A and B are shown apart, each in its own frame.
Chain A
Amino acid sequence: MTVVERREIALVDLLDRLLAGGVVITGDVTLRIADVDLVRIDLNALISSVNRNVPSPFGD
């Protein structure tokens, strides 16, 4: 087993924190949390369309 310390931050690690973490404040411009969760889902779809070469179906 190896412990990998990456210099470049992976986008997923970033989104785990920026879309699911951080203080949630209803700003003047409101994106409801449901919308943001939706973004996550759409993002999944988006990436799967980008990675068409990967054969296996969706894991989750």
Chain B
Amino acid sequence: MADRINLVMKLNGEERSVNVHPFARLLDVLREDLRLTGTKEGCGEGECGACTIFLNGQVVNSCLVPAVQAQGAEVITVEGLARGGELSPIQAAFVAHNGAQCGFCTPGMLVAATDLLNRCPNPTEDEIRDGLAGNLCRCTGYSKILDAVQTAAADGASR
């Protein structure tokens, strides 16, 4: 039986602290303790990407991260992508291209696409497919998602 820890994170730009079991999944801490339910649980085994978040600037599957490993970390979830009530360019492109069908994969897709464009502002189609390879869409709406990422990249390049 482990002692609970006071987990302190910079979460979506704000310092937050929460008392949790050190082996609790970061996914559950975000959804259950911090009520940030944008991050979804799909497979629970790091395969579907629905729980994708940024941990210290890198995309990770939050279902595979024990809380203790997020101690002192910077965490960004899908709720942290919009700024001042304005959708981020990739979010706006998903809306414009109907990049969400049932919407369950969308938070993970948005985080992975944001990471891709951060690393690679002008990706080829192959690079987009590679960047989103860890995110599954059961509606199989991949072509509209590709369109959205390409549009966001083109808009970013033209600005």
Q: Do A and B bind each other?
A: no
Q: What residues make up the interface of A, taking CB atoms closer than 8 Å to B?
A: none
Query: Which residues of B are interface residues toward A (Cβ below 8 A)?
Result: none
